[in-house]
Amino acid sequence: MENKILGIHHITAIAGDAKRNFNFYSKVLGLRFIKKTVNFDDPGTYHFYFGDEIGSAGTILTFFPWGDGIQQGRKGSGMATEIGYSVPKGSLDFWVKRFEEYNVIYNKPSVKFGERYLTFLDPDGLKLELIESKNPDNRKAWETDEVKADVATKGFHNITLTLNNIKPTAAILTEVFDYKLVEQEANRYRYATDAVEGAAIVDLVELADEKRGHVANGSVHHVAFRVKNDEILMHFREKIEKRGLSITPQIDRQYFHSLYFREPGGVLFEIATDNPGFTIDETLENLGKDLKLPPQYESRRDQIESHLVKIN
């Protein structure tokens, strides 16, 4: 099998109130709630997963909802600062009306790289965009009673990283991940892989004087890139080590296996496998229904559940 990075696997962000986060992404945006588990490094807090019907790589947005009162994040350099979702052409009018209905903060639609897009903020201030991709997106959308397939999100379109100097980060994308520079507008450089059709784009925005950002509430914690299996995962571990970067051993995240490293610009990158997937501990029909715990925490289920707010 060819050793390829297959675009974005998932993106993980930090939220405040768990119920508010659940309601916004499952109801307002109409994503499928595919997994309710806990932060494996801090089992007293939830880890939520939202995506398409089956939790396909390239659709998965996850959150650590740490509760109200946590410090607000500050956008700046060394961060992933915008999450872009692909939506069908002609759907932005629907989303403007929906954001008006639900009092979502948004900007009027605009255009970049020849694509119409709509910028908005989630309830914690996380910046997202809905983008009418100029390339066909044949991924099957998850739909709800209020958000039908003709307007629903298809999965990620891109992730934007803000950096003081893009060159070291671009070198990781091009020399390690096999991305290519495909377009540029002012200080925004678009890199893409041809290994997959969706979730294939990384935008690098260069702001030489931008202050360092702070990852906390309403900000992206890390960006995960996709590989097919464990063998390819370890191939990339070797490549990254050879560049002198510190990278973790393989970590079992129950639904995928992961490596973590901080790219030279300061953004935390993860590389994650397709295997074993989200149906390892519940059926496709029941994804997201029950609290799922990794084996090491199952004996503490009663204690853990007593500290978590109920999510229906």
Does residue 312 lie within any of the structural domains?
Answer: no
Spatial neighbors of 5 by CB under 8 A, at least 6 apart, are: 177, 178, 179, 193, 195, 225, 226, 227, 236, 271
Q: Give the pLDDT score at 242.
A: 96
Cα 269 to its chain centre, rounded Å, is 11
Q: With pLDDT > 90 as the criterion, what percentage of the chain qualifies? A: 95
Q: What is the pLDDT of residues 164-179, one digit of tens each?
A: 999 999 999 999 999 9
In a domain, 1, yes or no: no
Q: Dihedral, CA atoms, 208, 214, 218, 222, nearest 10 degrees?
A: 80
* 180 pLDDT above the threshold of 60: yes
User: What pLDDT does residue 1 have?
Assistant: 46
Q: What is the pLDDT of residue 169?
A: 98
23 confidence band (pLDDT: 50, 70, 90): very high
Distance of CA 63 to CAs 91, 113, 141, 171, 273, Å?
Answer: 26, 29, 21, 29, 19
Number of structural domains (the chain) is 1
DSSP 254-292: SSEEEEEEE-TTS-EEEEEEEEE-GGGSS-STTTTSSB-
Q: How far apart are alpha carbons 42 and 307 in whole angstroms?
A: 12
State the Cα–Cα distance between residues 78 and 215, nearest whole angstrom.
Answer: 10
Share of the chain above pLDDT 70, in %: 100
pLDDT in the model for residue 284: 97
Q: Which pLDDT value is given to residue 267?
A: 98
Residue 157 in domain = yes
Read off φ and ψ for residue 278, nearest 5 degrees: -85, -5
How far is residue 19's CA from residue 76's CA, in Å, rounded to a whole number? 28
CATH of the domain at 178: 3.10.180.10
With respect to residue 36, please indicate whether it lies within any of the assigned structural domains.
yes
Residue 3 lies inside a defined structural domain of this protein: no
Average pLDDT of the chain, as a whole number: 96
Asked if residue 2 is part of any domain, the answer here is no
What is the side-by-side order of every strand in the sheet holding 201-206? Answer: 110-112, 115-121, 127-132, 79-87, 155-163, 201-206, 188-192, 180-185
Q: Residues 57, 47: contact at Cβ < 8 Å? A: no
Read off φ and ψ for residue 10, nearest 5 degrees: -155, 170
**Domain range enclosing 163:** 8-306
Classify residue 146: in a domain, yes or no: yes
- pLDDT-based confidence at 185, cuts 50/70/90? very high
Instruction: Grade residue 127 by pLDDT with cuts at 50, 70 and 90.
Output: very high
Q: What is the pLDDT of residues 243-275, one digit of tens each?
A: 999 999 999 999 999 999 999 999 999 999 999
Q: Does 110 map to a domain?
A: yes
As beta bridge partners, residue 131 has 86, 117
Reply yes or no on whether the pLDDT at 132 is more than 60.
Answer: yes
Our CA dihedral for 51, 196, 113, 116, rounded to 10 degrees, sits at -30
